[in-house]
Amino acid sequence: MAPTLDRQGYWGRPTSTLDWCEENYTISFYIAEFWNTVSNLIMIIPPLCGAIHTLLRGLEFRYICSFLGLAAVGVGSWCFHMTLLYEMQLLDELPMIYSTCVFVYCLCECFKQEKTSSYFLILVLLIFSVTVTVVYLQWKEPVFHQVMYGVLVACLVIRSIYIVTWVYPWLRALCYISIVIFMLGFLLWNIDNIFCDSLRATRQMLPPGVGVLTQFHAWWHIFTGLGSYLHILLSLQIRSTYLQQRPRIKFIYGMWPMLQSDAQKTS
């Protein structure tokens, strides 16, 4: 975590239980952690476009919720890193739990008939989310939140690998790419936490345009945002394949992946 020697800015003294390695208020008086803030754009703009695309293509509502959940995490993380206020920290961390529960539901229900729901699974995930929320509000320990989030991510990884190993092996590339990108972000998140003092000292010796590349928490946002987005595409492709909608990945402007399928919009 970051040393306490930081500038004061518009939002006052941090009240969050976490203060990351980026130096506070060095770029803008109004943004506590500038690079950790703007890096959240990858978790806001592409998922919003994905939600709109999913709606227009007539795909299932649960996947609209997946994209919107990821965008909600991006907005919450933007507010948290911009202000370093405890209330905004909750706006970042709790949606991480809620949105990942939606991801788990989608992946576990991908081999069910259309217009069916597993109310038992919904209840289990709802109880899990409420329990984590209540405990975390009372016990303000970030490690608790990180472990609970890790449990959900582990469920996604195990389920994804099972599906691409035994059911749809031709989707292995997308699955493993999403996992590797996400884990690369997790690696950089740990380096940023463990070696913060060294990273800050290194940034002091580098030109600003080069030093920004050592903002590893910002890279965590970029890689986990992209990895999560690709996971939603994987989940959508698994579901659309099961429904025989002939899904395929297309790249918008030759760069950004979107899912196309033969799904018909339903009333």
User: pLDDT tens digit string along 112-162?
Assistant: 998 888 999 999 999 999 999 999 999 999 999 999 999 999 999 999 999
Using pLDDT thresholds of 50, 70 and 90, give the confidence band for residue 267. Answer: very low
User: Mean pLDDT over residues 47-55, rounded?
Assistant: 96
Q: Are 227 and 185 in contact (CB under 8 A)?
A: yes
Q: For residue 113, which of 168, 60, 63, 165 has the smallest C-alpha distance?
A: 60
Neighbours of 260 (CB within 10 A): 14
The CA-atom distances, in angstroms, between 112 and each of 93, 115, 118, 149 are 31, 9, 9, 26
Amino acid type, 139: W
Task: Decide: helix, strand or coil at residue 116.
Answer: coil
Amino acid type, 227: G
d(CA 106, CA 56): 19
- Give me the pLDDT at residue 33, please: 97
d(CA 80, CA 90): 8
Using pLDDT thresholds of 50, 70 and 90, give the confidence band for residue 1. Answer: low
Evaluate if residue 4 carries a pLDDT over 50. Answer: no
The stretches of the chain forming alpha helices (DSSP H) are 34-38, 45-56, 61-83, 86-108, 119-138, 142-166, 172-194, 196-205, 208-211, 216-242
The CA-atom distances, in angstroms, between 138 and each of 66, 73, 90, 102 are 28, 21, 12, 24
Evaluate if residue 66 carries a pLDDT over 50. Answer: yes
- Give me the pLDDT at residue 6, please: 64
- Give me the pLDDT at residue 263, please: 65
User: pLDDT tens digit string along 199-210?
Assistant: 999 999 999 889
User: pLDDT tens digit string along 229-238?
Assistant: 999 999 999 9
User: pLDDT tens digit string along 71-112?
Assistant: 999 999 999 999 999 999 999 999 999 999 999 999 999 999
- Give me the pLDDT at residue 253, please: 80
d(CA 37, CA 166): 40
